[in-house]
Amino acid sequence: MNAITSKFPTASLIDGNWVQSKKTFAVTDPATGEEIARVSDLGAIDARAAIDAAAKAFPAWAAKTAKERGAILERWFDLITAETESLAQLMTAEQGKPLSEARGEVAYGASFVDWFAEEGKRAYGRTIPTTAASRRYITIKQPIGVVAAITPWNFPVAMITRKVACALAAGCTIVVKPSEETPLCALALAKLAVDAGVPAGVFNVITTMDAVAVGNVLCADARVRKLTFTGSTEVGRILYRQSADTIKKLTLELGGNAPLIVFDDADLDQAVAGAMASKYRNAGQTCVCANRILVQSGIHDRFIAALKVAVAKLHVAPGRDPKSTLGPLINADAITKVQALQADAVKHGAKIIVGGSVDGHGAQFYQATILSDVKSEMQIAREEIFGPVASLIRFETEKEAIDIANDTPFGLAAYLFSQNISRAWRVAEALEYGMVGVNEGVFSNEVSPFGGVKQSGLGREGAAEGLEEYLETKFICLGGIS
C-alpha cells in the first residue's frame, strides 16, 4: 500500500463495520502493472450479511424525512468535494485515466449527491379527481426497499454516486458490489459517507473476485427489491433472468454502439472537437463514446485531415503525468480486443490513418488511432471498441446516415453535427437512442436522464426520472366521506 491508497480503507463495509477477510486480492495500477493495495475478497455469506444489514436499517432510514436524509447527503457531498484531489489520485492509480479527467469525474460524481439531496424532497404524489362523492383518491411515493448495485470500472466514482445518492435520497438502503478492477474508490466513498453520518447498514460495500456467487445472492434474495447495474449487455441479460423469480425492479445501463454523424453543413471545428471529446475521453473506455463516426462525403476528407491534426496533440502517458491526455486501457484483455477489432477491419479494407499499435509507454497503452474506409458490416462497427480507435464511415445522404446509425441492437447514445436546425431536429427524432447530443460531444449531467433503449438497457439514472426508479407509487382510496 502506498501513500495514495493508505488514506482510505481496503476493508469492505457491512452494517457500519469494516470487514477485513483473510482472503484478499490485489488491485493493480494499469499503467505499470504494480500492486497498489489488497482488498477483502468476500463471498456469498458476506453478501447475505450485507443484505441482512440493509434490511434491518431500512425502516428507520425510510422513516426519516427527505430533509433529514438530504442534510446527510449534503455533508457527504461536502466531504467528497473536500477530498477531490485524494479521490482523483486514487482513481488514476487504480483505473488509469489522466488526473485532469479524474478530477472532473469526482466533480461529476459529487454533483449527483448534491442534486439528489434536494431532489429527494420532491418525491411528489398527487390527488386525483374522484368518481364518487363519498371517495377521495390520493397517490403517495414510498421507497422501494433494499437495493443492490453492481458498478463498472470505467467511472469508479460517478457510477457509484449516481446510484447510491439516488437510492439514499429516496429512502432506500443499498448494497454495492464494485468492479474488482476498481474497488478502492467505492470504499473511499463509503468511508466519506460514514463520516457524513450515513447510519450503519444503510450503505454497504462488498468487494469480491467471485462476482458470480455474490451476484446470485443479490438477485435471488427477495428482500432486495431493486437491482441497478451498469455494464455489458451480456451480463445484463444474465442478471435480468436471475432477477425474474423475485420480480425485482431493474435499472440496466448496458452496452452501446454510438454513432457520431457529421453532416456536410456541420461546423468543422465544432465537429472535430466533439468527436475528440466523445471518442478519446478515458481512452475510449466509455459506454457512450463515439463507436462509429459517420461523415458525409462533402466534408469527409477535410474532417479526416482536421481530426488527424487534433489526434496528434494527444499525449499518451500514465495518468499521473500532468501532461497525460490518454492513459492506459484497463487490462490486457482490453488491448487484445482492440487489436482484434482493428485487425479485422484492416483485413476487410479499412485503412490506418494514424496510430494502430501498442504505445511505447507500456503493454496497456494504445496509440490514438484513426481508421478510414470502415464499412458498417465490419466487426469494428458492430461491437463496442472500448479503446482509442476512431472508425470512420463515409455516407452520402441523410437517410443513409440514419439507416446506418440505427442498424444495431443497441441504443444508448448518439451524436450529430449540423448547422441546419431543421435537419438536427429531424435526425435527432429519427435516431433510435435514449440520448442524442446535437453539436455536443459530451452531454451527461446530474439534471438530465441517462439511459438507453433497445438492448442498451432499462430505466434512467439522474434527474427526476432517476429518483422515480427507486420509488413505488401507492394509491389510497379514502371512502365513507359524507
Q: Which residues pair with 12 in a beta bridge?
A: 19
Q: Quote helix, strand, coil % in the chain, to nearest 5.
A: 40, 25, 35
Instruction: Give me the phi and psi of 17, to 5 degrees please.
Output: -110, 140
Indicate which residue of 94, 253, 384, 446 is catalytic. 253
- Strand-pair partners of 39: 25
At residue 450, φ and ψ (nearest 5 deg) are -115, 125
**Kindly report the CA angle at 159 between 156 and 164, in degrees rounded to 5?**
115
Cα separation, 385 vs 219, whole angstroms: 29
- Write down how long the chain is: 482
3-state secondary structure 265-323: CCCHHHHHHHHHHHHHHHHHCCCCCEEEEEEEHHHHHHHHHHHHHHHHCCCECCCCCCC
Catalytic residue among 219, 287, 398, 469: 287
**For this structure, is 287 an active site residue?**
yes
Nearest to 449 by CA among 465, 437, 429, 436: 465
Reference 18, options 27, 26, 8; nearest CA is 8
Burial class, 323, CB count within 10 angstroms (exposed 0-12 / middle 13-18 / buried 19+): exposed
**34 is an active site residue:** no
Q: How far is CA 258 from CA 56, 287, 479, in A?
A: 42, 8, 52
- Please tell me the distance from the alpha carbon of residue 219 to that of residue 147, in angstroms, as a whole number: 10
Q: Where are the alpha helices (DSSP H) in 197-263?
A: 211-220, 233-242
Q: 439-466 as b/e, with b when 16 or more CB fall inside 10 Å?
A: bebebbebeebbbbebbbbbbbbbbeeb
Beta strands in 62-179 (DSSP E): 126-128, 136-143, 146-150, 173-177
Cα first-last separation, the chain: 71
How far apart CA 51 and CA 300 sit, in angstroms, is: 54
Question: Under a CB-based contact definition with an 8 Å cutoff, are residues 112 and 450 in contact?
Answer: no
Catalytic residues: 253, 287
